Amino acid sequence: MRDSIFHRSTNLLLLLSATAFHHSPLAAATVPARAFFEQHCTDCHDAETKRGGLDLTALSFQPENAGNFASWVKVFDRVSAGEMPPKQKARPTAADLEKFLSTMQPVLLEAEQKRTAAQGRAKQRRLNGYEYENALRDLLSAPWLQVKGQFPDDGEASRFNKLGDALDVSHVHMARYISAADYAMREVLSVQWSQPPTSTKRYYARDQRTLTTKTLQTDLSKPPGDRSTFLVLGTKAQPPGAKLKSLTVGDADPVLREEEAVGWIASNYVTGFRYRWDGFRAPVAGRYRIRFSGSTVWVEPGKNSKTAEQKTDEKREPITVGRTQEPITVYTRNALMNRRVGGFDLTPEPAVHDLGETWLLANETLVPDPSRFFRSRPPGWKNPLMTPEGGPGVAFRWMEVEGPLYDQTTTAGYKLLFGDLPLTQVEGSAPGVLINLVDSKTSRPKGGEPAEPLSEVSVDVVSQDPGKDADRLMRTFLARAYRRPVAENDVQRFLQLVAQRRAAGLSFAESMFAGYTAVLASPGFIFLDEKPGKLDDPALATRLALFLWNSTPDKTLRTHAERGELHQPAVLRAETERLLADAKSHRFQEAFLDYWLDLRKMEASTPSTTLYNDYYLDDALAEAALAETQLYFHEMIQRDLPARCVVDSDFTFLNERLALHYGIPGVQGIAMRRVALPPDSPRGGLMTQASVLKVTANGTTTSPVLRGKWILERILGFEIPPPPPVAAVEPDIRGAVTIRQQLEKHRDNESCAACHRKMDPPGFALESFDVMGAWRDRYRGVADNKPAVKGIGKNGHAFEFHYGLPVDSAGELPDGRPFKDIRDFKRLVRADEVSLARNLARQLTVYATGAPVRFGDRAEIENILQRASVSHYGLRTLIHELIQSPLFLNK
C-alpha cells in the first residue's frame, strides 16, 4: 500500500520465483492463505526457529481479538512490503503474492469493520489537561486561567494525549477536578469583587525598591558589577562620584524627572529577579497595556578586573550614549513562576516601547530582561560582552501600565455563576467563600518570601429566594457547561446537592459552588459522549472544537448542532474555516506541535557546560527556536502550504538571535518575521529547525540513530520497532572517533542492519547540526593535544573546547540512492510528496479523532490524499478533507 523510498520493494514482478521445501503446517485451521504461509514462512517462523520471536504455527486466527488482529496485520504488512520472506530466501511468485494479499486483506478488513461497528474507532475518553483548562477558561470567560499544571501529566498513546486508552482517571484527578474548579470560580469572584478603575500610571525606575536598594552604585569611579544598578541621567552617569540626597527630583521637576533612569549591565539572576518593577502588582487578573521608556547606554570597563582585564582610560565618561540595540524580553513574576509576555528592542535613542495588551494574573509584577547580557554565576565571573572600549548596558526610565482594561467579557464569568445577584462581604465567622485579593499595601517580608502575600476576604452572594435562584442559575450553568441538551434528572441531581449543602449550613455561594464543582467533575463534563457509528451533531461539534480549539464548542457551533445542520458538508466546511480563523486555533497548533514534534520537551536537556557553554542560559535562543516552529506551522495552515514544506521551504521565521545562530545576515531585532532563505541554505522545513534539532539531542552529543528514528517516525511516517537488547553506542567526546565510525560496527550486524538501514540515513544527514541546531563542520570535543577555542559563557564563566574530527553527513537511502549532505537528503525526500502528506494526514487523524490509524482506515487516508492532491497536499486542505471524511464523522 505504501510505496516510498523507505519501502520501495513492493515491485512484485521483479521477485524471483520460489521453490518449495518442507515446511511446518499451521495449527490454526481458520488461517486464510494457509498454503502460502506453509510454503514461504513457517520454515523460520515455527516452534523450533521462532525467528524474530514469531511462531506462525502456533498463532491462532482470531481477528475479533485486537491483539491477535494486530499480529496478523503485521504479518500482512511485512509480506506486502516485500520485506518477508527476506531477500536471501526463496521469494513467492508474483501471482502467489497477489493471491495471498487479495485473500488476506478482505478477511482482515471485514473483521475490523465488525469491531468498529460495535465499538467505533475511538475509545471513550476524558478531556485531557489542555482541553480541561481551555474549557474552563471559555466557560468562565477567564482566558488568563491556569489550571493545567494542577493535573498529573496525561498519558500518551500513538504519540498523542488524545486517546482513551491512555487517559486514565485516578483519585488524584478527582481531587484536582474539585480543587481546580473551586479555584477557578474563586478567581472569578475576585475579579468581580475587585474591579479597580482603569488607570494609566507611570512607575519610575528610581522609585522601584528592587532596582535601587543595596547594590546601587553612585560611585562610578568603579564600574558597575553584576547584579548592581547605577544612576543614569539622560545618557550620562549621575552624579559621577558623589551621592545624591534623593534618588529623584520627583514631581518638582517633571522635565528632569523624565531623564532620570536606572541602568544595569547584567541579565536577571532568575531566583532574585532583581530587576523587577516591584512598585506595580496587577491588582486583579485581566488585560493591561504595558509600556517601557529607556535607552541603551555604553559602560566603561573600569579597573575592576571582574568586568574586564584591560585597564581603562580614566578620563573617559563612565556612561555614554549606547552603541547597541538590545533585545528586551519581558517576563512576569508571580510567586515562583515567570511567564514571558513580550519583548522589544531598546535603542540608543531614549524611546517609549509599547508591549501592547497582555493578560496579567493577579499580583504579577513585570521584569524587563536584556537577554543578551550575562547572568553571573560565582565564583570569578567575567562579563563576556565587556571590551577595552566598554560594554553595553541598559537604562530604564519608567514603566507605564494602563488597565485593567474592561469589556463585556470581564464579568461574564460572574454573570454565568450568579447572574445579577449582588456579591457582598461576610463579617465575622459566618460562612462564606474565601477569595484572594491583591493588597497593594503589603510588601515582601524579609527572608526572601517569594511574593507579596495576598489578603483574603470572605464573601457571599445575596439571594432573596435561594431555591428559585439556584434552580434558574443551575439550569443556565448546566446548559453552557454540558455539550449536549441537559436531562432534567441531571438538573435535579445537582440542585439536590445545592439544597443539601445549604441545609448543612453552607452559605448560598458555597452551596452553589458545591453544585457547580460537581458539574465540572461529573462524567457529563469530563468525558466525551460519542456513540458507535455516525456521530450526532453535538458529538461532532465537540470533536471539531476539541480538534481546532482544544476546547469545547462555542455558542455558534452549538447552535449549528442544535439545529442538526452541522453534519452538512457545507456547514461543516464553513465552521472549520471559522474555527481556523479564530485566535483560539493557536491552542490547536501549539498542543499538536507539543506532541507531534515533542516541543513540550524543549527544556528537557541542558547544553553541556564543557562543550556548549555558549548556549548555556541562552533563553532568547531557545524561545526564538520554539517560536520559529510554531509560526512556521501556523503559516502552513494559513497559506495551505504543500506537505513538502514539512521537509523543505525557501523561507522560515527568524529574529536576530536565531538568524545569528543560523548564520543568516540582515535580520535585526527581537521580533520574529518571515525571512526568505538564501538559495543554498540548509534551513527551511521542520527537520532543520533548531527546536527539532534540540529535542532530538541530549545537550552534549547527537546520535544519528535517535535523530534518524525520530525523523522517520515524526516527519517521514514510518514506525520502527524497539531495538533488541544490545548495548547502545556510548557517546565519546574525546575526539578520536566519530559516532558514525562507532556505528559502522553496529550496522555490520545483519539483524541490526535491517532497521538501521532505514533509521540512520536522516540522522547522518542531520549530523551537520549540533545539539542546539547550529551548523557544524567539525565535532566539538575535549582533546587536550589541540589548541582550544576559548570563550566566556552567559554564566560569566570561561570555557574552552576543541574542534575534533570532521562531520560526514553523507549516506544512502534504503533504496540505495546516495546523498552527500542534508541539502541533498532534503531534495530526495521532498520529491516524495505523497509520503510526506500521508504522514501528516495520519498524525492529524490520531490527534483529531483520538484513535490510531487502523488497518481499515488506510483506504480512507488514501481517499483524503486523493482529494487533497490538487493542492499538492496543502495542510489546510488536508485538515478540511480529514474533517469531511468518515474517519472524523464516525466514532
Partner 1 sequence: MKSFLPTAPAVGCFISTQRAISRRQFLRGTGIALSLPLLDSMRPAFAKEVTSGPAAKPRRMFAICNNLGLLTDQFFPTGTGRDYTLSPYLEELKAHRNDFSVFSGVSHPNVDGGHPADVCFLTAAPHPGSSSFRNTISLDQHIAEQIGVLTRFPSLTLAVNTRARSLSWTGIGVAIPPEDKAAEVFKQLFFQGSPAQVAAQMRKLDTGRSILDTVSGQAKELQRSVPAHDRDRLEQYFTSVRDLERRLQASRGWEEKPKPVVKAPMPVDPNDPAEYMEKVKIMYDLARLAFETDSTRAITLMLEGVSSPVLDIPGEKITDGYHNLSHHGKSEAKRAQLQIIDRWHMKLLGNLIADLKAMPEGDATLLDRTMVLYGSNFGDANAHTCFNLPTILAGGGFKHGQHLAFDKQRNYPLPNLYVSMLQRMGIETDQFASSTGTMRGLEMV
Q: Count how many Cα atoms sit within 13 Å of the Cα of residue 633 in the half-sphere of its side chain.
A: 27
DSSP 8-state assignment for residue 713:
I
Min dist. Cβ of residue 486 to partner 1 (A) = 11
Distance of CA 520 to CAs 18, 308, 652, Å?
A: 64, 60, 42
Q: Quick one: which segment of 68-76, 179-187, 564-572, 827-835 binds partner 1 (CB under 8 A)? A: 179-187
Min dist. Cβ of residue 797 to partner 1 (A) = 10
From the list 88, 91, 289, the residue with the least C-alpha distance to 198 is 289
State the Cα–Cα distance between residues 247 and 255, nearest whole angstrom. 15
State the Cα–Cα distance between residues 229 and 294, nearest whole angstrom. 14
Should residue 410 be labelled a site residue for partner 1 when binding is judged by CB under 8 A?
A: no
DSSP for 136-195 reads HHHHTT-TT---GGGSPPPP-BTTBS--TTT----HHHHHHHHHHHHHHHHHHHHHHHH-
Min dist. Cβ of residue 849 to partner 1 (A) = 15
- Largest separation between any pair of C-alpha atoms in the chain: 105
Should residue 73 be labelled a site residue for partner 1 when binding is judged by CB under 8 A?
A: no
Residue 671 or 677 having the CB closest to partner 1? 671
State the Cα–Cα distance between residues 207 and 278, nearest whole angstrom. 9
Q: Quick one: which segment of 148-156, 393-401, 770-778, 850-858 binds partner 1 (CB under 8 A)? A: 148-156
Min dist. Cβ of residue 613 to partner 1 (A) = 12
Min dist. Cβ of residue 59 to partner 1 (A) = 24
Residue 604 or 753 having the CB closest to partner 1? 604
State the Cα–Cα distance between residues 350 and 766, nearest whole angstrom. 44
Should residue 306 be labelled a site residue for partner 1 when binding is judged by CB under 8 A?
A: no
Distant-in-sequence, close-in-space partners of 27: CB < 8 Å, separation ≥ 6: 57, 58, 59, 60
Should residue 331 be labelled a site residue for partner 1 when binding is judged by CB under 8 A?
A: yes
Looking at residues 661 to 690 of the shown chain, list those that interact with partner 1 (rule: CB under 8 A). 672
Residue 480 or 601 having the CB closest to partner 1? 601
Residue 424 forms beta bridges with which residues? Answer: 460
Identified binder of partner 1 from the candidate list 92, 164, 370, 684, rule CB under 8 A: 164
Q: Under DSSP, is residue 769 helix (H, G, I), strand (E, B) or coil?
A: strand
Looking at residues 696 to 755 of the shown chain, list those that interact with partner 1 (rule: CB under 8 A). none
Min dist. Cβ of residue 142 to partner 1 (A) = 11
Count of all residues that appear for the chain in the document: 891
Should residue 250 be labelled a site residue for partner 1 when binding is judged by CB under 8 A?
A: no
Should residue 141 be labelled a site residue for partner 1 when binding is judged by CB under 8 A?
A: no
Should residue 506 be labelled a site residue for partner 1 when binding is judged by CB under 8 A?
A: yes
Min dist. Cβ of residue 49 to partner 1 (A) = 34
DSSP for 771-828 reads TTS-B-SEEEE--TTSPPEEEE-TTS-EEEEEEEEEP---EE-TTS-EESSHHHHHHH
Identified binder of partner 1 from the candidate list 74, 468, 531, 563, rule CB under 8 A: 531
Min dist. Cβ of residue 69 to partner 1 (A) = 14
Should residue 240 be labelled a site residue for partner 1 when binding is judged by CB under 8 A?
A: no
Should residue 486 be labelled a site residue for partner 1 when binding is judged by CB under 8 A?
A: no
Should residue 176 be labelled a site residue for partner 1 when binding is judged by CB under 8 A?
A: yes
Should residue 626 be labelled a site residue for partner 1 when binding is judged by CB under 8 A?
A: yes
Q: What is the dihedral of CA 120, 125, 131, 133, to 10 degrees?
A: 160
State the Cα–Cα distance between residues 297 and 324, nearest whole angstrom. 8
Instruction: Kindly calculate the radius of gyration of the chain based on its CA atoms and give it in whole angstroms.
Output: 32
Q: Give the pairing of strands 391-405 and 433-437.
A: unpaired
**One character per residue 549-588, x = contact with partner 1 (rule: CB under 8 A):** ----------------------------------x--xx-
Residue 604 or 728 having the CB closest to partner 1? 604
Q: Quick one: which segment of 21-29, 237-245, 494-502, 822-830 binds partner 1 (CB under 8 A)? A: 494-502
Q: Quick one: which segment of 254-262, 511-519, 641-649, 765-773 binds partner 1 (CB under 8 A)? A: 511-519
Should residue 631 be labelled a site residue for partner 1 when binding is judged by CB under 8 A?
A: yes
Residue 8 or 159 having the CB closest to partner 1? 159
Q: Quick check: bond before 379 cis, omega within 30?
A: yes
Looking at residues 267 to 296 of the shown chain, list those that interact with partner 1 (rule: CB under 8 A). 268-271, 287
Should residue 496 be labelled a site residue for partner 1 when binding is judged by CB under 8 A?
A: yes
Min dist. Cβ of residue 97 to partner 1 (A) = 35
Distant-in-sequence, close-in-space partners of 205: CB < 8 Å, separation ≥ 6: 211, 260, 261, 262, 277, 294, 396, 397, 398, 399
Should residue 408 be labelled a site residue for partner 1 when binding is judged by CB under 8 A?
A: no
Should residue 524 be labelled a site residue for partner 1 when binding is judged by CB under 8 A?
A: yes
Residue 41 or 692 having the CB closest to partner 1? 692
Distant-in-sequence, close-in-space partners of 30: CB < 8 Å, separation ≥ 6: 60, 61
In this structure, the number of other CB atoms found within 10 A of the CB of residue 645 comes to 24
- Grid cell, residue 736, equals 578520536
State the Cα–Cα distance between residues 848 and 887, nearest whole angstrom. 9
837 phi/psi in degrees, rounded to 5: -65, -40
Should residue 225 be labelled a site residue for partner 1 when binding is judged by CB under 8 A?
A: no
The answer to whether the CB of 546 falls within 8 A of the CB of 503 is: no
Should residue 603 be labelled a site residue for partner 1 when binding is judged by CB under 8 A?
A: yes
Residue 179 or 218 having the CB closest to partner 1? 179
Should residue 422 be labelled a site residue for partner 1 when binding is judged by CB under 8 A?
A: no
Residue 102 or 455 having the CB closest to partner 1? 455
Distant-in-sequence, close-in-space partners of 284: CB < 8 Å, separation ≥ 6: 190, 191, 194, 195, 196, 362, 404, 438
Q: What is the 3-state secondary structure (H, E, C) of 272-297?
A: CCCCCECCCCCCCCEEEEEEEEEEEE
Residue 40 or 891 having the CB closest to partner 1? 891
Residue 314 or 449 having the CB closest to partner 1? 449
**One character per residue 345-384, x = contact with partner 1 (rule: CB under 8 A):** -----------xxxx-x-x-----x-----x-xxx-----
DSSP for 440-452 reads TT--PPTTT-SSP
Min dist. Cβ of residue 356 to partner 1 (A) = 7
In this structure, the number of other CB atoms found within 10 A of the CB of residue 824 comes to 16
Should residue 884 be labelled a site residue for partner 1 when binding is judged by CB under 8 A?
A: no
Identified binder of partner 1 from the candidate list 123, 202, 291, 776, rule CB under 8 A: 123
Should residue 138 be labelled a site residue for partner 1 when binding is judged by CB under 8 A?
A: no
Identified binder of partner 1 from the candidate list 600, 746, 757, 872, rule CB under 8 A: 600
Identified binder of partner 1 from the candidate list 23, 173, 560, 780, rule CB under 8 A: 173
Q: What is the dihedral of CA 616, 619, 620, 622, to 10 degrees?
A: 90
Min dist. Cβ of residue 277 to partner 1 (A) = 16
Min dist. Cβ of residue 397 to partner 1 (A) = 24
Residue 115 or 560 having the CB closest to partner 1? 115
- Grid cell, residue 339, equals 511567564
**One character per residue 827-866, x = contact with partner 1 (rule: CB under 8 A):** ----------------------------------------
Min dist. Cβ of residue 374 to partner 1 (A) = 13
Should residue 169 be labelled a site residue for partner 1 when binding is judged by CB under 8 A?
A: yes
Q: Quick one: which segment of 55-63, 121-129, 658-666, 748-756 binds partner 1 (CB under 8 A)? A: 121-129
Looking at residues 442 to 471 of the shown chain, list those that interact with partner 1 (rule: CB under 8 A). 445, 447-451, 453-454, 456
DSSP 8-state assignment for residue 732:
-
